[in-house]
């Protein structure tokens, strides 16, 4: 595919020195991050390779089928952005991805949040690979600058659990997060991932667990609000914060403590799906951006 300049502008930066399959590589990377998130355990209340968490309608195989189904659409999002397409085209690809997800899972919503957030980061990576933005500009900043206004002005899914929670509790949700350049990824998830990776260099899963707990402790997760109300959100945040304050994955026996918190989430049927999506996005950004010296 030959990318064209963005509407109203010119290609000011050299393309990344890769083959035309670059969009495919971006899509592969996105799905790899989804599978790494799935493979991480213990994650409070969430589906993993070990158990179903707080969910009765999905398991690890459901997520694997979903990830395989939406993989082509991450590639399409990257390619469309590299060609300078606007948010309208990206939104159509996202809706096609959601339809593919539901077809693969018999209607279960496994990855709607990831299609939105991770999909936008794929688009930003595509715009960067296509030479439309400064290759040093963070992907979150690209999303905010190119599409932030359109994200906030776009149609609202009136019947989704997240939309209902946002209306009831006046929460910002995924739209505000994306339009703002994913501050939860850059200010919470990424620092936690990188610092714990340095502290526990021989255990990549530990770094992912730490990042997940950091996100749960800080994010206003509409999935938690939907399942547990304000009390459920507060319980989840307190539990995650206590784990971190007591040393997180740096403390001996951390896995048993994390598993105990996971079991308490399951008893309360709490599932921080927003944090899971943000963890996958954090992994994607970590794979595509070098840390500052």
CA distance 71 to 93: 12
Say whether pLDDT at 75 is over 90: yes
Residue 114 confidence (pLDDT): 96
Q: Give the pLDDT band of residue 148 (cuts 50, 70, 90).
A: very high
pLDDT in tens, 36-64: 999 999 999 999 999 999 999 999 999 99
CB 1 within 8 A of CB 19: no
CB 93 within 8 A of CB 80: yes
Say whether pLDDT at 4 is over 50: no
Residue closest to 133 by CA, chosen among 6, 284, 23: 6
Residue 53 confidence (pLDDT): 97
Residue closest to 89 by CA, chosen among 78, 104, 101, 103: 78
Q: Give the pLDDT band of residue 11 (cuts 50, 70, 90).
A: low
Residue 15 confidence (pLDDT): 64
Say whether pLDDT at 125 is over 50: yes
Q: Give the pLDDT band of residue 16 (cuts 50, 70, 90).
A: low
């Amino acid at each position: 595919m030959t990318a064209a300049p963005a509407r109203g502008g010119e290609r000011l930066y050299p393309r990344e020195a890769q083959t035309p399959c670059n969009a495919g590589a971006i899509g592969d990377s996105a799905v790899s991050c989804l599978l790494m998130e799935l493979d991480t355990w213990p994650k409070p209340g969430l589906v993993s390779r070990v158990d179903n968490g707080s969910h009765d309608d999905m398991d690890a195989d459901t997520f694997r089928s979903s990830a395989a189904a939406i993989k082509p659409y991450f590639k399409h999002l990257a390619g469309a952005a590299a060609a300078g397409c606007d948010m309208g085209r990206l939104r159509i690809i996202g809706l096609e991805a959601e339809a593919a997800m539901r077809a693969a899972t018999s209607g279960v919503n496994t990855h709607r949040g990831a299609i939105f957030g991770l999909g936008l980061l794929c688009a930003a990576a595509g715009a960067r690979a296509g030479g439309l933005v400064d290759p040093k500009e963070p992907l979150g900043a690209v999303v905010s600058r190119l599409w932030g206004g359109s994200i906030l002005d776009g149609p609202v899914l009136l019947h989704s659990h997240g939309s209902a929670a946002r209306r009831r509790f006046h929460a910002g949700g995924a739209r505000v997060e994306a339009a703002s350049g994913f501050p939860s990824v850059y200010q919470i998830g990424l620092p936690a991932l990188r610092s714990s990776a340095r502290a526990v260099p021989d255990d990549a899963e530990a770094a992912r667990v730490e990042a997940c707990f950091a996100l749960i402790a800080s994010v206003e997760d509409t999935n938690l609000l939907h399942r547990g109300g304000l009390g459920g959100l507060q319980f989840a945040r307190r539990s995650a914060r206590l784990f971190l304050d007591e040393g997180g994955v740096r403390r001996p026996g951390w896995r048993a403590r994390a598993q105990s918190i996971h079991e308490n989430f399951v008893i309360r049927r709490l599932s921080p799906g927003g944090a899971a999506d943000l963890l996958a996005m954090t992994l994607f950004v970590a794979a595509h951006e070098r840390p500052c010296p």
